[in-house]
Amino acid sequence: MEATLCDSKRFDQISVTLWGDLAEIEGSSLENLKDAKPVVALLSVIGRRYLGEFQLSTKSSTLVLVNPEIPQCREMIDW
C-alpha cells in the first residue's frame, strides 16, 4: 500500500510504502481514517531517493502510530 504523508518540519509531501502485515492491517486502518486526515508517525523506516524523489518504506520493525500523544501531533492538527 502506498500513502502520501506531509513532513512536519517543512510540510512537504512524502510517499511511504507499507509492506506485509503493515500494509494489510495498518493500511486498512489508515484507509478507513483518510477522510478524518489523521496524523501518522512512523518509527524505524527506510528513507531513500528514487528518481530524484525522497520516499519512505517500511520494514519489519516499523511502528505506525496514528494520532500519537506528542507535541508534534498537536502542531500538525493545528496546521
Q: Over the stretch 8-19, which tens digit does the pLDDT of each residue have?
A: 666 677 888 888
Query: Grid coordinates representing 13?
Result: 509531501
Evaluate whether the domain defined by 2-78 bears CATH number 2.40.50.140. yes
Confidence of residue 54 (pLDDT cuts 50, 70, 90): confident
Predicted pLDDT at 8: 60
C-alpha dihedral (15, 20, 24, 30), degrees to nearest 10: -30
Q: Over the stretch 4-52, which tens digit does the pLDDT of each residue have?
A: 766 666 667 788 888 888 888 888 888 898 888 888 888 999 999 989 8
Q: How far apart are CA 18 and CA 25, in angstroms?
A: 10
For residue 11, the SS3 value is: coil
